[in-house]
Amino acid sequence: MTDTKTEVSSGPAKSPLSSITFDPSAPLLDVEDLRVEFATRDGVAQAVQGVNFTLREGETLGILGESGCGKSVTAQAVMGILDMPPARIAGGQVRYRGVDLLQMDESKRRHVRANKIAMIFQDALSSLNPVFTVGWQLGELFRKHQGASRKEAKARSIEMLELVGIPAAASRVNDFPHQFSGGMRQRVMIAMALALKPDIIIADEPTTALDVTVQAQVMQLLADLQQEMKLGLILITHDMGVVADVADKICVMYAGNAVEQADVYQIYEKPAHPYTKALLESIPRIDQKGQDLTVIKGLPPALVDPAPGCAFAPRCTFVRDRCRTDKPELYTVPGGRSSACHYWEEVMGK
């Protein structure tokens, strides 16, 4: 029997955010002294230790560092999607347009997600539900957040797939995630992030497991959409080559700490922290063919019961006795940048 019942849209429900006054003159995102801990069998792991950064409209911030440095945990804390417990926000503020998201109740925070801040996850295949079509998953955003009917949601899903460059979107909207290539799945993730026209996109390793050509296509798509929609973009990566072409400024993280922040040109021209300098020196160069690659010796420190002093001291070529006992503050460096190194002047001089 065919069900001929016509679905009628109930219209968008009143948003819980309507009672909150956001300041349009405030930065899109202002993270201050963010601290995140995890309860483990070995003790409390200090995953993020006092991170600060600001993101403005139309700006791209690259958060850079090796695996385990706290990049993704920082993003998840901003989004409000940490599993608590074992995670715990130990301190700090995450302000969107002047309003601290950490003080919001979950119903309001849920509406901030997707409507104001959206996230592109690094593994599109595991992030998309394999038993639903991509059109159904895209449409759910419009149905749940804006009260759209199924017909309206499907039409808007097709529009989003066309926006991100998926060919034959009207037919592919009925396909399942496994029927798309890796690059196309990542485009679907971008479409989902942009669906409700947020102000901020957080892209967590968006080019992981993609070949170089597809990486370039995905990054160009993000850059084009950001410029067109005036988005604030946070790009999380361990690849310094990825952020070089798209970022306006960079926050370098190590062992849960933000160790350097600067304009992208300042970072690449003259780093002010030994870790940033070591990362740059470890990039393979075409003019060094046949030579051994430079590596950062040693391993990142344990986040449970960290040693006093600078976390990078055991691996640092500029280390002094003071580094092993006194944790460096985030020093102000000429040019509007900062570095968590006692000897940043020496680092920049070499």
Amino acid at 145: H
- Using CA of residue 189, residue 194, residue 196, residue 202, what is the dihedral sign? positive
User: Max alpha carbon distance in the chain (Å)?
Assistant: 81
Q: In whole angstroms, give the CA distance from residue 337 to residue 229.
A: 28
CA distance 36 to 40: 13
Please check whether residue 275 is in contact with residue 259, taking contact to mean a CB–CB distance below 8 angstroms: yes
Q: CA distances (Å), 191 to each of 102, 134, 214, in order?
A: 27, 10, 16
**328-348 residue pLDDT tens:** 988 999 888 999 999 999 988
Is pLDDT larger for residue 123 or for residue 32? 32
Which of 225-252 are b and which e, b meaning 16 or more Cβ less than 10 Å from the residue's Cβ?
bbeeeebbbbbbbbebebbeebbbbbbb
Q: What pLDDT digit, counting tens, does each position of 205-219 carry?
A: 877 766 777 777 778
Q: What percent of the chain has pLDDT over 70?
A: 93
pLDDT of residue 350: 63
Summarize the confidence of residues 138-144 as an average pLDDT. 89
* pLDDT band, residue 55 (cuts 50/70/90): very high
pLDDT 10s digits, 296-337: 888 888 888 888 899 999 999 999 999 999 999 889 998 889
Please give the domain boundaries of the chain with CATH numbers for all domains: 22-247 (3.40.50.300), 253-349 (no CATH)
Least confident of 73-77, 178-182, 310-314: 178-182
Q: In whole angstroms, what is the distance from residue 180 CA to residue 193 CA?
A: 18
Task: Report CA-CA distances (Å) from 141 to 5, 110, 173, 192.
Answer: 23, 12, 14, 8
Predicted pLDDT at 48: 92
Closest CA relative to residue 195, chosen from 169, 163, 223: 163
- Give the integer Cα–Cα distance in Å for 334 and 142: 47
- What is residue 13's predicted lDDT score, i.e. its pLDDT? 52
Q: What is the pTM of this model?
A: 0.85
Quote the CA–CA distance of 88 and 83 in Å, as a whole number. Answer: 8
Residue 29 — pLDDT band, cuts 50, 70, 90?
A: very high
Average pLDDT, the chain: 85
What's the confidence (pLDDT) of residue 15?
66
